[in-house]
């Protein structure tokens, strides 16, 4: 079997959005599943819309998603000599021709067609005139006048196009710049691309591209056109649905593994399974499981899936992703047993890495601030008496495991006559400055004896100052 070669070919006119990221992912997974090759190509022939900033944003997003490419990035703007060579082949073989029809004449043809209710298309006036290049000449492809072109699609199955409905479309403009449908075919042929997975908004371009493959004597790739991604209201995905830059989700604290897990489920399935690791997806991805219905982008489902990935990720790997968010909070730390403990108390409670970093802040605070109104309300004279009783019990405790701490709390309950909930809520407020935290025993076990005693003493001083 010939090596599978896929590609992702974005136009650098903006950020990498959800739909584009899914296209890249499907091609990458298909290549990786088949132990093939994945190529990145930047389609930057439109100089007015293409920007260096967009190119960098696309590459940055792919890097965050950990979608690596085997070749590239290639830039179409650097391949014009290749396109000229292929255009000359078509002209020499009589399958392309120069056309010098004026804009006014083409507008008249279009208007007449619209009046008669027929499809606007070029009438072939220059097709057999044997014209040479003129100052305002374009180059047109000589499309077949009859018969059919069949798109054998791996997702949509066979789609038949009547050749009589196709135009003698332009493959090079009057300024000599080649057009989209031509350059993608020239690129895909020379790069050995034999599998093309893309959005179904490209279906109508495909018959033209098939004709170009045939004219150039090249074998057709596998085509797979996947349904569009829609918002929850079934309208085309836009910013109001959450169609932001992929890197915006990174900055909000989503894991790349959760993002690709969610993106792949927008149009692909494997039984009833929802949760996939990267390795799972590489092992199981196949075009036969791509559906024909549009995927619906739901930020609530993405958030829930992200929480699941945080919960199931190993502490060392999770620290790698969490660390930048800790640094944003001014927390400089390294992976350690202490950090593992912090992570284990919060990984089942955090939906994003932003939540996680906020939840972890109190562990690293030099001094606890009592700005949380509910927590501050708990710090009163009764709490002071409780802490003065509790401090000696914590100081003399030899076992600061969760089981050992349970015994300490039982002793404090015995001395004070207070119920566990009352003691735990006041101690939590003193140790964290919050009314909500991880479980009291696991949290104190991570903080350790020194910090626990120090913070209880600081809370006593805070109450006295009030």
The structural domains of the chain, with segments of one domain joined by +, span 5-77+228-303, 79-226, 365-465
CA-only gyration radius of the chain, Å: 32
**Whole-angstrom distance, CA of residue 27 vs CA of residue 195:** 8
Q: pLDDT value at position 45?
A: 85
Q: Which CATH architecture has domain 79-226?
A: 3-Layer(aba) Sandwich (3.40)
Contact present, 218 and 189 (Cβ < 8 Å): yes
For tokens 């349970």, the residue is 406
Among 300, 342, 348, 352, smallest CA distance to 321 is for 352
Q: Which CATH architecture has domain 365-465?
A: Orthogonal Bundle (1.10)
286-293 contacts at long range (C-beta below 8 A, 24 or more positions apart) = 286/33, 287/30, 287/154, 287/155, 287/197, 287/222, 287/224, 288/154, 290/26, 290/154, 290/155, 290/224, 290/226, 291/155, 291/227, 291/267, 292/155, 292/156, 292/227, 293/227, 293/267
Q: pLDDT value at position 371?
A: 87
Name beta bridge partners: 96.
141
**Whole-angstrom distance, CA of residue 205 vs CA of residue 306:** 36
Q: pLDDT value at position 221?
A: 98
In order along its 466 residues, the chain shows pLDDT tens digits of 689 999 999 999 889 999 999 999 999 999 999 999 999 999 998 878 889 999 999 999 999 999 999 999 999 999 999 999 999 999 999 999 999 999 999 999 999 988 888 888 999 999 999 999 988 899 999 999 999 999 999 999 999 999 999 999 999 999 999 999 999 999 999 999 999 999 999 999 999 999 999 999 999 999 999 998 887 777 777 655 555 789 999 999 999 999 999 999 999 999 999 999 999 999 999 999 999 988 889 999 999 999 999 999 999 999 999 999 999 999 999 999 999 999 999 999 999 999 999 999 999 999 999 988 999 999 999 999 999 999 999 999 999 999 999 999 999 999 999 999 999 999 999 999 999 999 999 999 999 999 999 999 999 999 999 8
Q: pLDDT value at position 240?
A: 59
**Whole-angstrom distance, CA of residue 152 vs CA of residue 206:** 10
Name beta bridge partners: 158.
152
Q: pLDDT value at position 243?
A: 54
**Whole-angstrom distance, CA of residue 258 vs CA of residue 319:** 16
Tell me the pairing of strands 148-153 and 138-141.
unpaired
CA distances from 378 to 156, 268, 365, 413, 462 (A): 63, 51, 20, 17, 12
Q: Quick one: tokens of 400?
A: 């600061």
**Whole-angstrom distance, CA of residue 400 vs CA of residue 68:** 45
Active site residues per annotation: 239
Q: pLDDT value at position 241?
A: 56
Among 237, 358, 355, smallest CA distance to 299 is for 237
Q: pLDDT value at position 1?
A: 65
| DSSP SS3 for 347 | coil
Q: pLDDT value at position 349?
A: 95
Residue 84 φ then ψ, to 5°: -60, -40
Among 157, 163, 21, 183, smallest CA distance to 87 is for 183
**Whole-angstrom distance, CA of residue 140 vs CA of residue 90:** 10
Q: Where are the alpha helices (H) located in 191-336, listed in sequence order?
A: 206-215, 246-251, 256-264, 278-284, 299-312, 315-328
pTM of the model: 0.92
Fold equal for 5-77+228-303 and 365-465: no
- CATH superfamily for 5-77+228-303 is HUPs (3.40.50.620)
């Amino acid at each position: 079997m010939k090596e599978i070669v896929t590609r992702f070919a974005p136009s650098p006119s903006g950020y990498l959005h959800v739909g584009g990221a899914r296209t890249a992912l499907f091609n990458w997974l298909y290549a990786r599943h088949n132990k093939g090759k994945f190529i990145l190509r930047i389609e930057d022939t439109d100089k007015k819309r293409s920007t260096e900033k967009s190119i960098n944003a696309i590459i940055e997003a792919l890097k965050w998603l950990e979608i690596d490419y085997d070749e590239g990035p290639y830039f179409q703007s650097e391949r014009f000599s290749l396109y000229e060579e292929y255009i000359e082949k078509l002209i020499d073989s009589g399958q392309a021709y120069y056309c010098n029809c004026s804009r006014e004449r083409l507008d008249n043809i279009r208007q007449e067609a619209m009046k008669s209710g027929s499809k606007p298309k070029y009438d072939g006036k220059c097709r057999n005139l044997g014209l040479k290049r003129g100052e305002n000449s374009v180059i047109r492809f000589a499309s077949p006048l009859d018969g059919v072109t069949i798109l054998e699609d791996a997702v949509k199955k066979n789609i038949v196009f009547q050749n009589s409905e196709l135009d003698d479309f332009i493959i090079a403009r009057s300024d000599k710049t080649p057009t989209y449908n031509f350059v993608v075919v020239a690129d895909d042929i020379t790069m050995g691309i034999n599998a093309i997975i893309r959005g179904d908004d490209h279906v109508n371009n495909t018959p033209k591209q098939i004709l170009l493959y045939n004219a150039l004597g090249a074998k057709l790739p596998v085509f797979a056109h996947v349904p569009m991604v829609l918002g929850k209201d079934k309208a085309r995905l836009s910013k109001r649905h959450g169609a932001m830059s992929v890197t915006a989700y990174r900055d909000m604290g989503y894991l790349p593994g959760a993002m690709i897990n969610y993106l792949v489920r927008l149009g692909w399935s494997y039984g009833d399974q929802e949760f996939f690791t990267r390795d799972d997806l590489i092992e199981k991805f196949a075009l036969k499981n791509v559906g024909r219905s549009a995927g619906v982008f739901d930020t609530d489902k993405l958030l829930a899936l992200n929480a699941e990935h945080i919960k199931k990720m190993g502490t060392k790997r999770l620290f790698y992703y969490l660390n930048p968010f800790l640094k944003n909070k001014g927390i400089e730390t390294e992976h350690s047993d202490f950090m593992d403990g912090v992570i284990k108390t919060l990984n089942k409670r955090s939906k994003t890495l932003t939540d996680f970093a906020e939840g972890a802040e109190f562990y690293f605070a030099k001094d606890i601030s009592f700005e949380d109104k509910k927590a501050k309300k708990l710090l009163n004279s009764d709490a002071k008496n409780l802490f003065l009783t509790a401090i000696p019990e914590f100081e003399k405790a030899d076992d600061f495991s969760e089981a050992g701490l349970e015994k300490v709390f039982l002793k404090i309950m015995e001395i004070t006559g207070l119920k566990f909930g009352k003691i735990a809520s006041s101690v939590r407020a003193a140790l964290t400055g919050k009314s909500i935290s991880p479980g009291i025993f696991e949290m104190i076990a991570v903080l350790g004896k020194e910090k626990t005693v120090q913070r209880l003493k600081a809370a006593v001083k805070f109450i006295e100052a009030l």
